[in-house]
Structures are given as structure tokens and as C-alpha cells.
């Protein structure tokens, strides 16, 4: 392979490094009205009266909009397939405010100063209700967070607003109760994960204006431009044809931008005033009023025979979706569907539980998407079971984990929001990942612990994980290739590069098929007017789903080039081939260069534009796998945990661009390490998020993460483009469980609530 598997630099790298104007705020029209939002100071209230008269008088203020001024169509902000598996429970503005930070009014003016002043002058009278702040008490709480009658699910998702239930799910294969009776060893444990924040460095930003045709143009830092177009059309009752959404470069997403956030507010201002408008969220707003990860609780029961066969897994969950049910059902189901198949030889397995509303920051999509929550619980519990059995945790896993060529009934039963797809795992080098990781961390030497000093112990721990590659039978990506007169190609894709480098790897895939240098593929992505449809960047879909679409489009283009080349040479198509530079006679001397053919096709002979398109929907979602190994040093005097080494061995199929695959895993690991050790979420008693800035919400810096080694095992996924699977999410999944297991192995305390802070470790040590 020439272009695929090469470490080509990201196509946009130098432009970004030179600080070129490429992000939404850089590109917003210079005369944009500044838009800001008045946000609720109460966790749950109804607006009794809202007076904007004083605020409207401030010089420079152009418009102030309240719930009385905007359409009231129930939508979901979640950018998922359509119809969405998230309840339609959100309104552009509503008379109810359901968390501290919920939107009350939209203010637009000529500069920040006048808008800030106006925000202070809006007088709101609230009827305050008792908020639901504890997700374990949400079901059946006297306060009903969504009492309004318009809120509804798009199809059956176990929704019951009267009980504060956004979604619920239950499945069982075999009989858990019966099989548990036959087990020699049983453990039951409870685990909690926290509402991790994404902290993409570009805050959520959107701009809008009306073009010369009277259409609404939105520039947005979004992961899902086509979903944004559909949702905005629905929210404002305007035809899809009158909206264009452009995603320029964006400063990270991680799921936090898999939704509409600022777009409806700038759209409301532009539609009202006819003027350009922009909103740039403050960091505090990003924390308080966009998305977090769904905090979850899992009660896990595992049963095994004394020879170490895992026989039963029972996971009962409770998930907190905050004030709106975005990605509620799907993140919950993924906690099962992307963990349970790891142990595919059990006799009975059950996954059940509810996703509840609370008056807290809404939870949404976040890298890992439920899998990391489920993984922390399951992979911690597996270590606890192995210990009870007196088995090495790795030996126990190797005996029970999934292997290449096997399947799991979970694939068919649990999809995302609905039934899944039956599939055989065609590529699974999990065993190799485990073996390699053991070697790299020197497991045999280090397990379980080493005493470093009177107060410090080092321990090793590990976890295995899987993710998916797009959502089978739902996620669709399309690509168009267009030949230019110099023999270069425009690649138009709906796929959405969040900074990951997907534009580059998709170009590499096209270049590989056409046998041309990647530099000859000019990529334009994510513009609903100019690029074909793609669901967007989520569910680890771009390499696999959009990549397959690009591969097919390039194969079509190759055929077109051969066809037109044969015509030009006066030969039969079967006699002609194309090597990337020339279209040539197979057993002869006639040839024409691609450049010459391209030029005459446009200007002189047999004139036409060569253009090829293709779409792809995965019939399967081949999981990438990995094994993560942590070595920690625990100070028993302070409870401080220092991460010494983290080894990640990954099977993501063929790496289209090994450099970009590696940095995806490295970045994922560090986010997972942050979730495991640092990223603590705290609320005040009345429901205000206290960890609402980077001083109080600590994400890892370079100094916090120790030594990290990422390695890829050789693997080939037959259904993927050139053997590739996904790599975007898998890296985040293992650190919480692997680090928790390592801490246990080091000092014998089992922390079951994330993050694992020194306080928790020290308290557990003291209670030991």
C-alpha cells in the first residue's frame, strides 16, 4: 500500500499552526450582533413574569427574546439518527427552567458591553420548585421535571415523564437467577461514575446570517452539521431547503458538540432581525450549560464456577441524564452492548435499568458513550471475582474473553436505542493485546505489588475493552469525487473532522484506490449545501463508515477514468488500465496521461465532468479492542496516586495513518486517566455546578500522566476500508478500571466511585 498506512501529516496542520482564521469565531461576519443568554439561577422553576422593558432601552441592544417570542416545538438537541432515540423534551426557550444555567432569554446587541448590561436589567419573577438533585431519588420524586404535555419520545424507549424517567431498558439471555444458583463463587458490587466534562478547547460557537437568497446560513463548531440543519428546521418550522450549515475547523468535540447548542439562539436573532449574529460560550457556560457525561451507577453480580469459568453477568444500572434526555437511552444501552460481548461464553446475562431526569446539567454524548461507565464497573468486578476465585486476573480474562471468529448474542439484541445486528467478530486480536501488554509492563515481575519505601507501594492492574465502528444499519456516510483538469480530485464529504484528522485519512483512502499522491486529493467537508450527507462524527464511525463510502466512490472514479481513457485511446475498456498517472493499453504502447485526459474531457473532446459518488451504511459494527495496563504508586500517608506507566495495546484493524491513530489513542487515554483520577464534579446544595472552571475542574496536564506507551497489534478487518476499524473512542475506556485495579493491587483498597481522589484512597486505607 502506498498512501494508506503512511504517517502523512494532517492536511490542515500547517494552517492551524500558523494561526490562520479557520474556526467559527474567526469566520463569523465582522458586523455580527453579539448574542448572550440570560440563564436560570434556579435548579427548577417556572417563569411567572419576565420584564425586558428596562433592558431593551439600553443603547446598542437590538433584540431580547423570551419564550413568548420563539416557536415552541418539542425537539431533542441530540444529533443522532432520525427518528431520534432521545425524547423530544427541549424547547428553544420555555416557561420552565430545569437546571441552573438553563436558558431564560436571548439578548443581542452591538457589543458585549451593552449585552452584558441588558442581561442584568432583565427582571424575572420565578415560582421556585423543589429540585431533584439526587439521581437515586429521582424516580417518583414529587417534583416532575417535565410536566408539559408536548414532551414525547419518537418511539418506545421506556419513557415515563410522570416518574422522571427519560428511558428504560431490560434484556435477559438465559436465566440469571437459575444460573447463579449453580455458581460456586458469586460477587455483588456497586459502582459509580461521575459527570465528566468534555473540555474541548474551542468553546461552543455559532454564527448565522441571511444570504442573498434569503436563506439562513449557520456556521457552527458542530460534530453533526446535517443533524443541526434538520433540528433547526424542526425547531423554527422552516424548510430544510432554506438552511445551510457549515462546519469550519473545530476545536475538539469529544461528543460535546454532537448536538445543537448555540445554533438556535443565533438563528432566532438572525431570523428576527435579519442581521448576522454570533455566540461564543464562555468556559463557565460550557461547563454549566452544555453537556457532561452521564453519571451512572451499576450493581453488578458475577457468578463463576470454581475452575474459573464466568457463568453469569448481571448489570443493573441507573443513569442520570440531567434536565434533558439527550442520548439517554443510547448511552445507557452502550454501557451493556460495548462491554458484555467481551465475555461471550456466559450461560446467562442480564442488563437492565433506568435513565432518570434530574435538575442538573444535561448529560449527552461523550467519547466512550456509556462504554467507559460500564467498563469501569465490569472490569473492576472481574478483578474482584478473580481474586475471590484465587485466580490471576489476566488468566481469568483469557479463559473467558471473546476471540476472533466468535460472536455474542448481545450484538443482535442490544443496538443503540433499538435492536442490534448479528455479527461474527472477524477481527479480534484481544489475546495478542493482552500478551503484548503483559510483556511491556513486565506483569510477571510487578504483579501485584512492590514496596518502594515505608510509605509508598507500586501496583499494576489492567482492563480490557471494546467499542464499535459506527452504528450498524443506521449511520450513513456519502462521498463525491470530482476530477479536475490537472488530474487532481476534489473529495467532497459530509464527514466531520473535529481535529482528529479524518479529512486526511479519507483523502489517503481515496488516493490509495486511485494510486495518486494524497496531496492530489483536495478535501472539502461538512457543508450541507456542498457536500453529500453524512451523519457526522460520532460513534467511532468516520474511518469505517465514511471511509468505506470514500473507497467506493474512488473505485467508481477509477472505472470512469478507465472508461473515458479507453474511448480516448480508441481501445476496448478491457484492454486498458490506469496506474494513477497514465491510462494505458495493457499489451501495447498506447497511453494518455490522466492530466491530458482530464483537460480534454473538460475542454475539447467528449466533454464531461467526471464525478463519482457513493454511500455506505455498515451492516456490521466491527469492534476495536484493547488491553490497558496501569502501574501506579500509592502514598499510604497521603492517599496520593501517581501514575507511573500506562500501556495501551490496541487492535483497531489496519491503521490508515499510524501517526493519527496513535495520537487518537494517546488523547483518549489521557481523558480516561483524567476521569479516573482528577476530574471531580461538585454541586452546591441548591444545584449549582461548583466545578465550573478549569481551576476547580482539573484536567490532566503533561505533568500528571506519567509514561504512556501505545502499541498497535497487527490486525485486518475484512469489512473495513483497507482493513481498518475505528480508533476514536477505544482509547478512553480502560484507564478507570485498570487504575482502580492497580491501586487495589498496590495497597488493597478498592475504590468503586470515580474519580479516585487521594481523599477516597486515604479514607479507605484508614478504614481497612
For the chain, the distance separating the N- and C-terminal CA atoms, rounded to the nearest angstrom, is 57
* Cα–Cα distance for residue pair 467/733, rounded to 1 Å: 8
Nearer to other proteins, 212 or 695 (CB): 695
Query: Which residue in this structure is represented by grid cell 433540528?
Result: 231
* Cα–Cα distance for residue pair 718/741, rounded to 1 Å: 34
Task: Rule CB under 8 A: say whether 677 interacts with other proteins.
Answer: no
* Cα–Cα distance for residue pair 708/556, rounded to 1 Å: 42
Nearer to other proteins, 249 or 558 (CB): 249
Nearer to other proteins, 241 or 702 (CB): 702
Window 326 to 355, contacts with other proteins (CB under 8 A): none
Task: Rule CB under 8 A: say whether 401 interacts with other proteins.
Answer: no
Window 687 to 746, contacts with other proteins (CB under 8 A): 693-695, 699, 701-703, 705, 708
Distance in Å, CB of 506 to other proteins, minimum: 16
Distance in Å, CB of 514 to other proteins, minimum: 24
Nearer to other proteins, 233 or 708 (CB): 708
Task: Rule CB under 8 A: say whether 10 interacts with other proteins.
Answer: yes
Nearer to other proteins, 249 or 350 (CB): 249
Nearer to other proteins, 223 or 359 (CB): 223
Binding mask 87-126 for other proteins (x = CB under 8 A): ----------------------------------------
- Please choose, out of 248-256, 409-417, 450-458, 675-683, the segment that lies near other proteins by the rule CB under 8 A: 248-256
Task: Rule CB under 8 A: say whether 498 interacts with other proteins.
Answer: yes
Window 283 to 312, contacts with other proteins (CB under 8 A): 283
Strands (DSSP E) along 579-727, which ranges? Answer: 582-585, 591-593, 611-617, 625-635, 641-651, 707-712
Nearer to other proteins, 221 or 615 (CB): 221
Q: In angstroms, how far is CA 396 from the centroid of its own chain?
A: 31
Helix (H, G, I), strand (E, B) or coil at 397: helix
Task: List 75's β-bridge partners, or say none.
Answer: 90
Instruction: Using CB under 8 A, pick the residue from 61, 65, 145, 199 that binds other proteins.
Output: 199
Q: In what order do the strands lie in the sheet with 45-51?
A: 96-97, 45-51, 123-128
Task: Rule CB under 8 A: say whether 7 interacts with other proteins.
Answer: yes
Instruction: Using CB under 8 A, pick the residue from 3, 4, 5, 23 that binds other proteins.
Output: 23
DSSP 8-class letter at 420: -
Task: Rule CB under 8 A: say whether 212 interacts with other proteins.
Answer: no
Distance in Å, CB of 35 to other proteins, minimum: 16
Query: Quick one: residue 434, left, alpha or beta (phi over 0 = left, psi -120 to 50 = alpha)?
Result: alpha
Nearer to other proteins, 14 or 424 (CB): 14
Instruction: Using CB under 8 A, pick the residue from 39, 98, 249, 725 that binds other proteins.
Output: 249
Instruction: Using CB under 8 A, pick the residue from 200, 545, 598, 649 that binds other proteins.
Output: 200
* Cα–Cα distance for residue pair 526/257, rounded to 1 Å: 14
Window 646 to 665, contacts with other proteins (CB under 8 A): 659-660, 662-663, 665
SS (H, E, C) 285-300: HHHHHCCEECCEEEEE
Distance in Å, CB of 17 to other proteins, minimum: 4
Task: Rule CB under 8 A: say whether 680 interacts with other proteins.
Answer: no
Task: Rule CB under 8 A: say whether 2 interacts with other proteins.
Answer: no
Task: Rule CB under 8 A: say whether 630 interacts with other proteins.
Answer: no
Query: Quick one: residue 264, left, alpha or beta (phi over 0 = left, psi -120 to 50 = alpha)?
Result: alpha
- The DSSP line for 617-641 is E-S--PPPEEEEEEEEEEETTT--E
Q: Helices 371-389 and 393-400 meet at what angle, rounded to 10?
A: 110
Give me the half-sphere count of Cα atoms (radius 13 Å) on the Cβ side of residue 346: 31
Task: Rule CB under 8 A: say whether 501 interacts with other proteins.
Answer: yes
Nearer to other proteins, 22 or 567 (CB): 22
Instruction: Using CB under 8 A, pick the residue from 1, 13, 424, 690 that binds other proteins.
Output: 13
Cβ atoms of residues 138 and 356 within 8 Å: yes
Report residue 3 as a C-alpha cell: 498512501
Strands (DSSP E) along 467-590, which ranges? Answer: 476-483, 489-493, 521-525, 576-578, 582-585
Instruction: Using CB under 8 A, pick the residue from 74, 131, 203, 628 that binds other proteins.
Output: 203
Cβ atoms of residues 330 and 321 within 8 Å: no
Distance in Å, CB of 666 to other proteins, minimum: 3
Q: What are the backbone dihedrals phi and psi of residue 114, each rounded to the nearest 5 degrees, phi first?
A: -70, -35
For 599-620, b/e burial (b = at least 16 CB within 10 A) is: bbbeeeeeeeebbbbbbbbbeb
DSSP 8-class letter at 259: B
Report residue 660 as a C-alpha cell: 493519527
Distance in Å, CB of 558 to other proteins, minimum: 29
Distance in Å, CB of 655 to other proteins, minimum: 13
SS (H, E, C) 431-493: HHHHHHHHHHHCHHHHCCEEECCCCEEEEEEEEEEECCCCCCCCCEEEEEEEECCCCCEEEEE
Nearer to other proteins, 17 or 212 (CB): 17
Task: Rule CB under 8 A: say whether 669 interacts with other proteins.
Answer: yes
Binding mask 24-63 for other proteins (x = CB under 8 A): --x-------------------------------------
Nearer to other proteins, 212 or 703 (CB): 703
Cβ atoms of residues 62 and 56 within 8 Å: no
Window 432 to 491, contacts with other proteins (CB under 8 A): none
* Cα–Cα distance for residue pair 211/160, rounded to 1 Å: 43
Q: In this structure, are strands 611-617 and 591-593 parallel, antiparallel, or unpaired?
A: unpaired
Distance in Å, CB of 203 to other proteins, minimum: 7
Q: If binding means CB under 8 A, how many residues of this protein chain bind other proteins?
A: 53
- Please choose, out of 162-170, 196-204, 380-388, 440-448, the segment that lies near other proteins by the rule CB under 8 A: 196-204
Task: Tell me which residues touch other proteins (CB under 8 A).
Answer: 7, 9-10, 12-14, 16-23, 26, 198-203, 249-252, 254, 280, 282-283, 498-501, 659-660, 662-663, 665-671, 693-695, 699, 701-703, 705, 708
Amino acid at each position: 500500500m502506498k498512501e494508506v498506512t503512511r504517517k502523512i501529516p494532517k492536511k490542515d496542520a500547517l494552517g492551524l499552526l500558523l494561526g490562520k482564521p479557520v474556526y467559527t469565531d474567526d469566520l463569523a461576519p465582522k458586523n455580527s450582533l453579539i448574542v448572550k443568554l440570560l440563564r436560570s439561577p434556579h435548579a427548577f422553576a417556572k417563569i411567572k413574569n419576565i420584564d425586558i422593558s428596562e433592558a431593551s432601552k439600553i443603547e446598542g441592544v437590538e433584540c431580547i427574546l423570551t419564550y413568548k417570542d420563539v416557536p415552541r416545538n418539542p425537539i431533542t438537541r441530540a444529533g443522532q439518527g432520525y427518528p431520534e432515540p432521545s425524547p423530544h423534551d427541549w424547547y428553544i426557550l420555555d416557561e420552565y427552567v430545569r437546571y441552573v444555567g438553563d436558558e431564560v432569554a436571548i439578548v443581542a446587541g452591538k457589543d458585549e458591553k451593552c449585552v452584558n448590561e441588558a442581561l442584568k436589567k432583565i427582571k424575572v419573577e420565578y415560582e421556585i420548585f423543589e429540585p431533584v438533585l439526587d439521581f437515586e431519588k429521582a424516580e417518583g420524586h414529587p417534583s416532575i421535571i417535565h410536566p408539559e404535555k408536548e414532551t414525547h419520545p419518537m418511539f418506545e424507549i421506556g419513557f415515563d415523564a410522570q416518574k422522571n424517567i427519560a428511558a428504560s431498558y431490560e434484556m435477559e439471555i438465559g436465566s440469571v437467577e437459575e444460573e447463579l444458583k449453580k455458581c460456586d463463587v458469586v460477587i455483588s458490587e456497586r459502582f459509580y461514575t461521575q459527570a465528566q466534562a468534555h473540555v474541548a478547547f474551542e468553546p461552543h460557537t455559532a454564527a448565522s446570517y441571511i444570504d442573498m437568497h434569503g436563506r439562513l446560513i449557520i456556521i457552527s463548531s458542530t460534530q453533526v452539521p446535517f443533524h443541526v440543519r434538520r433540528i433547526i428546521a424542526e425547531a423554527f418550522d422552516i424548510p430544510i431547503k432554506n438552511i445551510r450549515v457549515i462546519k469550519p475547523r473545530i476545536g475538539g468535540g469529544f461528543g460535546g458538540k454532537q448536538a445543537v447548542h448555540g445554533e438556535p439562539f443565533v438563528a432566532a436573532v438572525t431570523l428576527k432581525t435579519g442581521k448576522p449574529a454570533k455566540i461564543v460560550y464562555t468556559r463557565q457556560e460550557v461547563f454549566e450549560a452544555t453537556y457532561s457525561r452521564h453519571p451512572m451507577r451499576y450493581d453488578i453480580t458475577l457468578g463463576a464456577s470454581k475452575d474459573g469459568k464466568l457463568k453469569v453477568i448481571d448489570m443493573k444500572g441507573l443513569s442520570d441524564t440531567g434536565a434533558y434526555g439527550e442520548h439517554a437511552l443510547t448511552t445507557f444501552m452502550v454501557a451493556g452492548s460495548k462491554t458484555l460481548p467481551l465475555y461471550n461464553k456466559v450461560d446467562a446475562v442480564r442488563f437492565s435499568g433506568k435513565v432518570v431526569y434530574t435538575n442538573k446539567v444535561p448529560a449527552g454524548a461523550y467519547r466512550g458513550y456509556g462504554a467507559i461507565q460500564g467498563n469501569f464497573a465490569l472490569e473492576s468486578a472481574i478483578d474482584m471475582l478473580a481474586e475471590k476465585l484465587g485466580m490471576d486476573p489476566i488468566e481469568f480474562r483469557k479463559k473467558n474473553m471473546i476471540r476472533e471468529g466468535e460472536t455474542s448474542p448481545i450484538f443482535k439484541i442490544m443496538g443503540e436505542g433499538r435492536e442490534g445486528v448479528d455479527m461474527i467478530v472477524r477481527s479480534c486480536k484481544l489475546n495478542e493485546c493482552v500478551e503484548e501488554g503483559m510483556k511491556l509492563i513486565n506483569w510477571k515481575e510487578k504483579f501485584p505489588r512492590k514496596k518502594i519505601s515505608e510509605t509508598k507501594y507500586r501496583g499494576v492492574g489492567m482492563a480490557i475493552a471494546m467499542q464499535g465502528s459506527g452504528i450498524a444499519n443506521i449511520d450513513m456516510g456519502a462521498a463525491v469525487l470530482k476530477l479536475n483538469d490537472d488530474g487532481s480530485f476534489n473529495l467532497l464529504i459530509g464527514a466531520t473532522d473535529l481535529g482528529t484528522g479524518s479529512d486526511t485519512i479519507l483523502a489517503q483512502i481515496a488516493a490509495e484506490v486511485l494510486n495518486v499522491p494524497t496531496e492530489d486529493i483536495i478535501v472539502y467537508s461538512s457543508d450541507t449545501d456542498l457536500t453529500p450527507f453524512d451523519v457526522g462524527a460520532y460513534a467511532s464511525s468516520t474511518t469505517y463508515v465514511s471511509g468505506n463510502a470514500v473507497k467506493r466512490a474512488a473505485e467508481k472514479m477509477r472505472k470512469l477514468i478507465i472508461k473515458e481513457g479507453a474511448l480516448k485511446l480508441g481501445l476496448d475498456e478491457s484492454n486498458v488500465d490506469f496506474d494513477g498517472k497514465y491510462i494505458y493499453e495493457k499489451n501495447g504502447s498506447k497511453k494518455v496521461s490522466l492530466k491530458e485526459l482530464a483537460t480534454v474531457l473538460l475542454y475539447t473532446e467528449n466533454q464531461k465532468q467526471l464525478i463519482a459518488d457513493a454511500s455506505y451504511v455498515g451492516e456490521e459494527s466491527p469492534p476495536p479492542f484493547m488491553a490497558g495496563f496501569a502501574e501506579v504508586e500509592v502514598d499510604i500517608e497521603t492517599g496520593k496516586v501517581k501514575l507511573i506507566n500506562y500501556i495501551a495495546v490496541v487492535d483497531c484493524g489496519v491503521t490508515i495513518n499510524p501517526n493519527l491513530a496513535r495520537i487518537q489513542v494517546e488523547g483518549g487515554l489521557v481523558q480516561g486517566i483524567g476521569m479516573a483520577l482528577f476530574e471531580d464534579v461538585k454541586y452546591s446544595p441548591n444545584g449549582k455546578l461548583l466545578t465550573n472552571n478549569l481551576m476547580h475542574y482539573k484536567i490532566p496536564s503533561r505533568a500528571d500522566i506519567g509514561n504512556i506507551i501505545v502499541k498497535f497489534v497487527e490486525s485486518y478487518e475484512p469489512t473495513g476500508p483497507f482493513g481498518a476499524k475505528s480508533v476514536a473512542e477505544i482509547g478512553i475506556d480502560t484507564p478507570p478500571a485498570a487504575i482502580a485495579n492497580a491501586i487495589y493491587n498496590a495497597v488493597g483498597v478498592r475504590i468503586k466511585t470515580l474519580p479516585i481522589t487521594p481523599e477516597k484512597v486515604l479514607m479507605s486505607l484508614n478504614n481497612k
